[in-house]
A and B are shown apart, each in its own frame.
Chain A
Amino acid sequence: MLHCSPIPKLYKSIIEDVIEGVRELFAEEGVEEQVLKDLKQLWETKVMQSKATEGFFRHSHRSPQFTLQLPHNFHRILQASAASLVIPAGRGFPHFTAADLGASRAGATLTLPSGIAYPVHVPAGVTLQTASGHLYKVNMPVMVTQASGDANILHHPVQQIFQTLGQPPVLQANVASVTQVNPSSAQAAAETLQPQETAVQQTMVFQSNVMEEKHLENSANATLVQQPSVSQQQLATSAVLNQHADSTEKSQDSCLHTTVFTPESSEGFPPTESLANNSTSVLLDVEGQLDIEPQESVQQHMSDDIIELIIAGNSLDDNAVLKDSMASSDKVERMEQMESNLRSEKDICSDIEGIIQLDGTGDVSPKEEIPHTNDEEENEFIGIIESEDLKVLEDEEDDDEECDSISNTESSSSAGGDEEPEIDVVEEDPLNSGDDVSEQDTPDLFDTDNVIVCQYDKIHRSKNKWKFYLKDGVMSFEGKDHVFAKAIGDAEW
């Protein structure tokens, strides 16, 4: 399991704090909220592009497991808000229409990123997308609460229907589909899939008062429970899983992996079909998919735990069609055609290799402290500054001094009285003849290399031995950012 880097979280929290801080100011100035959102977008995009952090949108690999409890009172169907909501990892769930959830036997276990604040109300019609890319359309309002972090999923009797769309090239360990049944049908489908590796915990377990429960387990420990019969309606195949084919390729954290299950698509199962019919096919599909290896790399990506909630329109059938997107998330269609932050970030992630970084590490940041350069390099100086800042003495004032200059002209004293600029040139040692002097100074600008910006407790030097006691800083080392609260260094110059 990879060690979780604290930097993405730190940066995210910084971004959040700043945005929140200026929100009021923006409002006072009459600037639209959208501008603030755009600003935040741009900022995060830039951070991701700079590749300075890893896993910018990845949270702890180990996602806590929480339980989605379906209201046993299926009568209520919450109105899904029309807006699409996308919840990238690390952000709190946006307000949803609060689901009025009562205790219910139905519970689904869905692993959400640690950044998600629990409990979460998921209204009906929401499509959940896990970091692994699985999309689950939630037709039933659910309440997500945080359960113990047990990766192993409980097997709850669930009814689930999920249809897979095609065969995604890579199946992620956790494939879960949530099927929501019309409350009136009093059947909820839930499916629990367990990731092959505990590291990825994205399983949804729906408990429902289902007539029939079935558990499917494959090697991946996934359990599929299918509801044998579903009454009329909206079966929603809530499991729409998108899976990025390249999820396994990329180790970029921000990449999302989604497996797409399209209930009503290629499988040709209309959502309204009876569950029984669907279940079989789904079962097969799922099994097929589950056989596909989720591998460790995938696991890691899945742990990105980005969940997107897309609140579809009221029509449950229409939504949740998410295609299996291969290399780019561009193909993923939003129900509302609303581009999520997450999506854009995924795009960026996909395209990140093609992005030429125009800024970021190329910047010459003002050195607040000693720049962290290679010790052994020969460097005399750097850069050329604007001459605007210079104050230059008047030449006339130098006349007397030039008379005494070391250049050995005895006539200088007599010539000095003339105060003519030409004489000055003769008398002083022209430095330009010193062009050869500075040759070693030819500075190779290594400013773009590793830089540390921090505060210092003490800097000490003995001859050419330096000791640094630094605190609260950020290091940019080979393009990657590292933060530290304390740093001690030794160097020889």
Chain B
Amino acid sequence: PLTPMTPITPVTPASESSGIVPQLQNIVSTVNLACKLDLKNIALHARNAEYNPKRFAAVIMRIREPRTTALIFSSGKMVCTGAKSEEQSRLAARKYARVVQKLGFPAKFLDFKIQNMVGSCDVRFPIRLEGLVLTHHMWKSDYEPELFPGLIYRMVKPRIVLLIFVSGKVVLTGAKERSEIYEAFENIYPILKGFKKAS
């Protein structure tokens, strides 16, 4: 559980603020340890490490604080997933790098970059997805209820993908920065209000 952070971008007075802040659920980041790694060695000596080379060519390592999972490749590149904030993601990545370093590899911490951020929130009213897709279909939204119960809304600016559900729950993904999440939600909120289901 994370304490919600206040949005970075200020709310314009003209539009009504939704008053709802999306919560970050997942951050994916990458970093370069800048040295070749012997994955078998790592898997044998590190705690909480999985390695099935026939299935996947990376060591899967996990730590509890922050609760994250890392994919460590023999090239020295690493992917860190599962953190709830940017800072936590960076901290976790450093911990993994530290683990690798302690195992004897000359690991560095280069090019840490957040690749994806996922947030979610609840507008607290049901949504008429069929109506939404009628007005926003084409390249903006996909809605195939038989395939997936959520409407896929691809916002252009910021470039964020939103999953909108009948229940009113919204998932936002594809952001490189937290502000993109907030901005995307503020953009979609008035639209969703327009398709509120009258119960």
Q: Which residue of B lies closest to A386 (CB)?
A: B104
CB of A406 within 8 A of CB of B45, answer: no
With contacts A378-B64, A398-B34 taken as known, whether A392 is within 8 angstroms of B106 at the C-beta atoms is: yes
Interface centre among B91, B103, B109 (most CB of A within 10 A): B109
Across the interface, name the chain A residue whose C-beta is closest to B76.
A393
**Residue contact A429 to B112, C-beta cutoff 8 Å:** yes
Instruction: Mark contacts of A399-426 with chain B using CB atoms, 8 A cut-off: 1 yes-contact digit, 0 otherwise.
Output: 0011011100000000000000000000
**A-facing residues in B34-60 (Cβ within 8 Å):** 34-36, 38, 41, 44-49
- Asked if A441 and B99 make an inter-chain contact with CB atoms under 8 angstroms apart, the answer reads yes
* Shortest Cβ distance from A446 into B: residue: B47
Q: Please measure, in the bound complex, the distance between the C-alpha atom of A434 and the C-alpha atom of B95, giving whole angstroms.
A: 8
Query: In the complex the two chains form, what is the Cα distance from A323 to B91 in whole Å?
Result: 72
Tell whether, in the assembled complex, residue A380 and residue B34 are in contact, meaning their CB atoms are under 8 Å apart. Answer: no
Complex contacts, A383 vs chain B, CB 8 Å:
45-46, 103
> Is B101 among interface residues, defined by CB-CB distance under 8 A?
yes
Could you tell me if A379 and B112 are in contact, using CB atoms closer than 8 angstroms?
A: no
- Complex CA distance for A161 and B45, rounded to whole angstroms: 66
A428 and B103 contacting across the interface, CB-CB below 8 Å? no
B110 with A380: CB separation less than 8 A: no
Chain B nearest CB: distance from A389 CB in Å?
Answer: 5
How many angstroms from the CA of A398 to the CA of B32 in the assembled complex?
A: 11
Which positions 89-118 of chain B face chain A at CB distance < 8 Å? 91, 94-95, 97-99, 101-113
B62 located at the interface, meaning its Cβ lies under 8 Å from any Cβ of chain A in the complex? yes
Chain A positions 118-155 with a Cβ under 8 Å from a chain B Cβ: none
* Contact A443 B47, beta carbon cutoff 8 Å: yes
Expressed in whole angstroms, the Cα–Cα distance for A166 and B36 within the complex equals 75
Any A CB within 8 A of the CB of B63: yes
- A434 contact from B67, B105, B109, Cβ within 8 A: B109
CB-CB under 8 A for A382 and B65, given A437-B91, A441-B102 = no
Per-position 1/0 for A452-472, Cβ under 8 A of B: 000000000000100000000
> In chain A, what residue has the closest Cβ to B82?
A463
- Determine the distance from Cα of A58 to Cα of B67 in the docked complex, in whole angstroms: 49
Which B residues lie within 8 Å of A373 (CB)? 47
Known A431-B94, A431-B108: A382·B34 in contact at CB below 8 Å: no
**B-contact 0/1 string along A331-351, CB 8 Å cutoff:** 000000000000000000000
Residues of A within 8 A of B105 (CB): 390, 392
Residues of A within 8 A of B108 (CB): 398, 428-431
In the complex, what's the smallest C-beta–C-beta distance from B109 to chain A, in angstroms? 5
Partner of B47, one of A380, A389, A398, A405: A380
- Which residue on chain A has the smallest CB distance to residue B43? A367
Are A382 and B47 interface neighbours, CB within 8 A? yes
- A387 near B104 with CB under 8 A, answer yes
Residue of A nearest to B60 (CB): A461
- Note all chain B residues with C-beta closer than 8 A to A434: 94, 97-98, 109
Instruction: Report the separation of the CA atoms of residues A392 and B33 in the bound assembly, to the nearest whole angstrom.
Output: 11
Q: Please state if A391 and B36 are interface contacts (CB–CB under 8 Å).
A: yes
Cβ–Cβ contact A431 & B97, under 8 A: yes
Question: Across the interface, do B110 and A398 meet the contact criterion of CB distance under 8 Å?
Answer: yes
Across the interface, B109 reaches (CB within 8 A) one of A382, A431, A464, namely A431
Q: Which residues of B contact A398 (CB under 8 A)?
A: 34, 108, 110
A493: chain B residues at CB < 8 Å are 48, 62, 64
Q: Is the CB of A440 within 8 A of B95?
A: yes
Q: Which A residues are within 8 Å of any B CB, using their own CB?
A: 366-367, 373, 378-387, 389-393, 398, 401-402, 404-406, 428-431, 434-435, 437-438, 440-441, 443, 464, 493
Q: 13 interchain pairs (CB within 8 A)?
A: A381-B45, A381-B48, A381-B102, A384-B102, A390-B36, A390-B105, A430-B108, A431-B97, A431-B98, A434-B94, A437-B98, A440-B63, A441-B98
Interface residues of B (CB under 8 A from A): 32, 34-36, 38, 41, 44-49, 62-65, 67, 76, 91, 94-95, 97-99, 101-113
Other A-B pairs, 11, CB within 8 Å; known A382-B46, A383-B46, A385-B41: A386-B104, A391-B36, A402-B110, A406-B110, A406-B111, A431-B94, A431-B109, A434-B94, A437-B91, A438-B95, A441-B98
Closest 8 CB pairs of A and B: A438-B98, A383-B45, A379-B47, A381-B99, A381-B46, A391-B36, A437-B94, A385-B104
